[in-house]
């Protein structure tokens, strides 16, 4: 019964996406189309407010903005934190945990299979992590993550305005001898409202902004 309920929620969420914008038939500006240079999906304040689900807009590898809704919110038993699973109209998925993208599914060129952290992340200090990605079947890629607070910023979206703290990370991928920078804009409750993240060196970069926040 629980699995049936989950499936019904996901199907309903996908139907909602399909009806949200008249810019393309069935909201055709999906993640696959992002690889071919389509325009941004533009949402209105009314559209975002009227949806019964939380939502984000995402940009993959400098492509167009893509609208996604929250299909699942599930507890990760390994960490004790909630994982939020955002879906597009063509069943692509971005999974976030505490604002960090920990998995992607059905992206057009490359996908992050998982991220394993050695310990709970904080806003400052250094931590170890293991990244797995495809299609190159690169597993257990060691990464040293160093984070620090940069400063305060006021952010506004279609339906909210909040004061945030910008947290910046340096990611050192030892096997590829490469370094990248991630950014997280967090509110006073440590919820990430906006982020820019490198997930696979030189292959997968995702930016996202929360449009309608998730509430338990």
Return per-residue pLDDT of the chain as tens, 216 residues: 444 434 444 444 554 544 443 333 333 344 444 433 445 677 889 999 998 999 999 999 999 999 999 999 999 998 899 999 999 988 899 999 999 999 999 998 899 999 998 766 667 789 999 999 998 889 999 999 999 999 999 999 999 999 999 999 999 999 989 999 999 999 999 999 999 999 999 999 999 999 999 988
Q: Tell me, what's the pLDDT at 29?
A: 42
Q: What are the Cα distances from residue 156, in Å, to 68, 159, 160, 162, 196?
A: 19, 8, 6, 6, 16
* Structural domain containing residue 91: 2-212
In whole angstroms, what is the distance from residue 4 CA to residue 125 CA? Answer: 42
What is the domain-level CATH number for residue 162?
A: 2.40.360.10
In whole angstroms, what is the distance from residue 1 CA to residue 156 CA? Answer: 40
Which residues face 4 on adjacent strands? none
Q: Tell me, what's the pLDDT at 122?
A: 66
Q: Tell me, what's the pLDDT at 28?
A: 38
- The tally of CA atoms less than 13 A away on the side-chain side of residue 42 is 3
Tell me how many domains the chain contains: 1
Q: What is the CA radius of gyration of the chain?
A: 17
| Tokens representing residue 141 in the block | 């890629």
Tokens 């990370």 correspond to what residue? Answer: 169
Among 135, 99, 133, 93, which residue's Cα sits nearest to residue 115? 133
pTM, two decimal places: 0.83
Going 68 to 62 to 102 to 182, the CA torsion angle's sign is negative
Question: Element (H or E) spanning 4, and its range?
Answer: helix 2-18
Helix intervals (H) in 63-123: none
SS3 32: helix
């Amino acid at each position: 019964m629980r699995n049936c309920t989950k499936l019904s929620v996901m199907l309903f969420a996908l139907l909602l996406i399909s009806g949200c914008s008249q810019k393309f038939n069935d909201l055709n500006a999906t993640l696959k189309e992002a690889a071919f240079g389509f325009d941004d999906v533009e949402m209105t304040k009314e559209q975002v407010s009227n949806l019964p689900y939380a939502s984000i807009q995402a940009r993959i590898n400098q492509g167009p903005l893509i609208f996604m809704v929250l299909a699942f919110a599930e507890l990760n038993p390994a960490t004790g934190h909630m994982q939020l699973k955002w879906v597009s109209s063509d069943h692509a998925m971005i999974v976030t945990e505490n604002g960090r993208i920990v998995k992607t599914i059905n992206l057009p060129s490359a996908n992050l299979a998982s991220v394993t952290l050695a310990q709970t992340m904080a806003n400052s200090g250094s931590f170890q992590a293991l990244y797995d990605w495809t299609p190159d079947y690169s597993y257990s890629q060691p990464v040293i993550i160093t984070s620090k607070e940069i400063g305060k910023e006021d952010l506004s979206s279609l339906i909210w305005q909040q004061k945030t703290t910008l947290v910046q990370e340096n990611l050192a991928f030892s096997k590829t001898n490469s370094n990248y920078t991630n950014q997280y804009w967090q509110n006073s409750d440590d919820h990430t409202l906006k982020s820019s993240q490198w997930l696979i060196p030189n292959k997968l970069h995702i930016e996202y902004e929360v449009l309608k926040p998730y509430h338990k």
